[in-house]
Amino acid sequence: EAFSSVSSHGSADYLSGEPWIELEEARALSSNPASVTSRYHRGEVSGLADVYLRTGTVLGQGMSGEVVLARGRHDGQKYAVKVLSKCSAKANGLKTLKREVEIHLSVDHPGIARLCDVYECP
């Protein structure tokens, strides 16, 4: 009962535990709506491990979890991976988290770390 997010440029972000109605809004905000949808992976427990190899190196620790270094299996690039437990988040926290992911998935700017992928486990 966790979800993982993968971000390049040394940062990582979030996801929620319930179905995303707000994903439609993220698509509408994005300059590339198909990209928003293709980067959110629901129910693909093994998907993260298929695409990213976690090295075990801890990059940082915050209130919501650890950020660890990973390498892309297909491109060798460095990525930051953050795994969050849906069980430990309160209802209000999940709403806030969903909104942040929705916005971050729609942002494409050279000064902001790109949220590459979000994986949600059942």
DSSP-based three-state secondary structure for 64 = coil
Q: What is the pLDDT of residues 58-73, one digit of tens each?
A: 999 877 778 899 999 9
Q: What's the pTM?
A: 0.61
Residue with the bigger pLDDT between 88 and 31: it is 88
Q: Which of 38-42, 57-61, 93-97, 104-108 has the lowest mean pLDDT?
A: 38-42
Burial of 5 (0-12, 13-18, 19+ CB in 10 A): buried
Residue with the bigger pLDDT between 87 and 35: it is 87
Q: In whole angstroms, give the CA distance from residue 15 to residue 11.
A: 14
User: Which domains are delineated in the chain?
Assistant: 2-120 (3.30.200.20)
Average of per-residue pLDDT across 45-66? 82
Q: Decide if pLDDT at 3 tops 50.
A: no
Strands of 40-85, DSSP E: 40-42, 52-62, 65-72, 78-85
98 annotated binding-site participant: no
Average of per-residue pLDDT across 32-61? 74
